[in-house]
Amino acid sequence: MDRKLSAILAADVVGYSTQMERDEAGTFERLRAGRKELFEPEIARHHGRVFKLIGDGLLAEFGSVVDAVECAVSLQRGLVERNAAVSEDHRIRVRIGINLGEVIVEGEDRYGEGVNVAARLQQLAQPGGICVSGKVAKEVEKKLAFGFEPMGEQKLKNIAESVKVYRVLLDPAVAGKPRDDVNQPPRFWRNLAVSIGVLVVAVGLAAAWWRLWEPTIRPAALEANAKADARPSLVVLPFDNLSDDKAQGYLADGFTEDLTTELARIPGLFVVSRNAASAYKGKETKPAEVAAALGVRYMLEGSIRRVGDDMRINAQLVDGSTTGHLWAERFDGQWADVFALQDKVVASIAGALKLRLVSAQGKADFAGGTRNPAAYEAYLMGMEIYNRRNTPEEFAQAVRLFQQALELDPNFGAAAASLAWAYWEMDGPRVKALAVSDIIAIYNVYKYLEQAAKHPSPSYYQLVASLLVREHRSDEAVAVMFKAVALDPSDPLNYVGLAEALSFNGRPNEARDYLDAANRVDPGGNDHRHYQTGLAAFGQGRFEEAVDYLERIDLQSPDPWPKFYGLQVLVSAYAHLGRSDQVAAYSDRLRNVMLERKDGGANQLVTQRYFVFKNPADIGRLLDGLDKAGVPELPEQLDLDAKDRLTGSEIRSLILGHDLRGGGAWIDKGTSWVQENFLCDAIPKVQTTCGAIFRNPAGTPGRGHEYTAVFRFDRFEFSTIK
């Protein structure tokens, strides 16, 4: 058996089946012409050869990995030029994957894991995009004028070990070294916004920068993120806890996080998220390796030692390109001086990077922070407990610490926001541990949000936006999330929350931009980002692309929400694509998840409760796919006759603008509208609910039981009186 080292290029056409179904002869001819006129000549010009054609795809071998990458870029650029001359539905788009590895030689064919990895990488690429393995990126990093964006460690189907994957950036302006991905901890710090710094770069720019959520400035904010490597780039590595009491690690974690947040607010400075930096906690890593892995030039590292009230902070700024120390300093003081010490560190770093700082509005007032050291410490202790996989008893302990922080400083907006999040995320065991009812928990959510609104933090905006979306108010949610992004541009949760609001607002194109921004500050994906990217692709009608992302969701994960949402979109997308086998397989999984969630089984009433699109076409696209997949509109055990059900137009003329009698708690509680053949209501402080309306054959006009409204779990009888 002969083996050799080769660069393998795998290419596959996006949406080929759909195009063939629409225009078989024309699609075949366009694909054949593309191979003859573009692919085969370009591959030959780059000293490669096609060794296998697979339906709408091909595999090619290159002796040089540089030739393989240059060829892939030429192919994608050539397709852009060819597609410019044809209509949208006739364009040929491909995904390309490239791997460098050992292959088995059998005549003119090639086999083995080297080939298989290339094929799997192709599946990870976006339409018109190129994905390469870490081996490829390492080989070409200094030889080509292309950048490489990390996609993290990816588990590829039928490949035993995870593979580091990079997306090729075709713009020479973003050329640079490849960056290794880092693993994400099981949970983000939800409340990333105890604002400690008060610093803004460049006199005169501060006021404009803090208004990044304004529509006229939004594109510039995106552009700055897209070209992050054109700016000075920095990571704050986890500070070491040198205190004798190792339980005080929360102080070092909090200090690290606050520095990251403050530095990220400086215009012109790109700061990697604290989540990406956390992978290096407690590890001995060479500065040059960190710089290459995270795609930054500068690293801030240091330690904290606290003995009683005395504190010592050591910090140093390292240039990863030279491994030289730009600045190092020791700060001594009292715990009561912790905020002033942080300000000094930020100012010193700015000076080392030659950024000019001016004091602005007090930080405690501006972003939900505090100037009370005791409140700050209680908050940090609570966050350390809250963000690990805690027991219900530990959860209750974290809540008590947040309450203590808020008692010590009633203006501590971030602590109030953390309490609102805690009560919002409570489940049965946690409710029991705190000895409160579900009703009281919801009451506390809005009570603490009202308090947090006086001194808003990013986590306050995150929760407010999520609640606004549920109430069918995505316009407001988008505006709120732009404020969160402005307060902390290094937090991926802000970009993901903004993307969600934009998708439900009917703006999936913009949602994709902000999901890209999340991946830039926090390289590597997770289930929630896979779902959001799939949702945005689905909203653009890109069903092939949607399923690519949605299938990456880990259905064995203990987190129920990505699979709960993602499976509904995935089933609909596969139904639109006409893939009955996948529809059947994922429909079974969807039913199981619905049963786990105790949402009454898979039906379209459940879907409309959670997918609160602003535009009728968007919810119509999702429901149409679920119809094709056989997902019922109503609970299967419903005992009403289908012939008595009202259509959308009948509901509109019967109910909207009329007074109703009966209906129990349902009547006159919110804003109503007709969606498909359903009546929907957005009730303040309660998420949207949709139902079907039936005539009651035994009902008496005007007596409160002429019609029956059927919702997810409830049903009400009512009559119209005028």
Dihedral of alpha carbons 465, 470, 475, 476, sign? negative
Q: What average pLDDT does range 253-277 have in this prediction?
A: 79
Q: What average pLDDT does range 222-242 have in this prediction?
A: 65
260-269, 466-475, 695-704: least confidently modelled range: 260-269
Q: What is the DSSP letter of 270?
A: E
> Does residue 405 surpass a pLDDT of 90?
yes
pLDDT tens for 458-484 read 999 999 999 999 999 999 999 999 999
Confidence (pLDDT) at 10? 95
Confidence (pLDDT) at 677? 93
pLDDT tens for 97-117 read 999 998 988 888 888 889 999
Dihedrals φ, ψ of 50, to 5°? Answer: -80, 125
Structure-token match 């803090």, residue found: 210
> Does residue 324 surpass a pLDDT of 70?
yes
Confidence (pLDDT) at 173? 41
CATH code reported for the domain at 526-633: 1.25.40
> Does residue 213 surpass a pLDDT of 80?
no
> Does residue 95 surpass a pLDDT of 90?
yes
In b/e form, how buried is each residue of 485-508, taking b as 16+ CB within 10 angstroms?
Answer: bbbbbbbbbbbbbbbbbbbbbbbb
Confidence (pLDDT) at 361? 40
* Percentage of the chain exceeding pLDDT 90: 35
298-307/233-236 β-pairing: parallel
Q: How far apart are CA 306 and CA 166, in angstroms?
A: 41
Class of domain 182-369: alpha beta
User: pLDDT tier at 142 (50, 70, 90 boundaries)?
Assistant: low
Q: What average pLDDT does range 171-196 have in this prediction?
A: 35
CATH code reported for the domain at 372-454: 1.25.40.10
User: pLDDT tier at 618 (50, 70, 90 boundaries)?
Assistant: very high
Residue 356: other Cβ atoms inside 10 A: 11
Q: How far apart are CA 516 and CA 691, in angstroms?
A: 36
More confident residue, 130 or 260: 130
Q: How far apart are CA 694 and CA 718, in angstroms?
A: 10
Please determine whether the domains at 372-454 and 526-633 fall in the same fold group of CATH.
Answer: yes
pTM: 0.63
What is the H or E stretch that residue 106 is in? strand 94-106
Q: Which of 530, 603, 619, 606 is nearest to 566 (CA)?
A: 530
Confidence (pLDDT) at 438? 79
Q: Which of 33, 79, 238, 69 is nearest to 141 (CA)?
A: 69
Q: What average pLDDT does range 320-342 have in this prediction?
A: 78
* Mean of all residue pLDDT scores within the chain: 81
**Domain limits, the chain:** 2-174, 182-369, 372-454, 526-633, 642-720
The answer as to CATH 3.30.70.1230 being correct for domain 2-174 is yes
Confidence (pLDDT) at 191? 32
User: pLDDT tier at 241 (50, 70, 90 boundaries)?
Assistant: confident
More confident residue, 559 or 510: 510
Confidence (pLDDT) at 268? 62
pLDDT tens for 410-430 read 999 999 999 999 999 887 677
> Does residue 347 surpass a pLDDT of 80?
no
More confident residue, 289 or 401: 401
Q: What average pLDDT does range 114-131 have in this prediction?
A: 90
> Does residue 594 surpass a pLDDT of 80?
yes
Confidence (pLDDT) at 218? 35
264-278, 522-536, 563-577, 580-594: least confidently modelled range: 264-278
Q: How far apart are CA 407 and CA 578, in angstroms?
A: 58
258-272, 385-399, 489-503: least confidently modelled range: 258-272
Residue 432 identity (one-letter amino acid): K
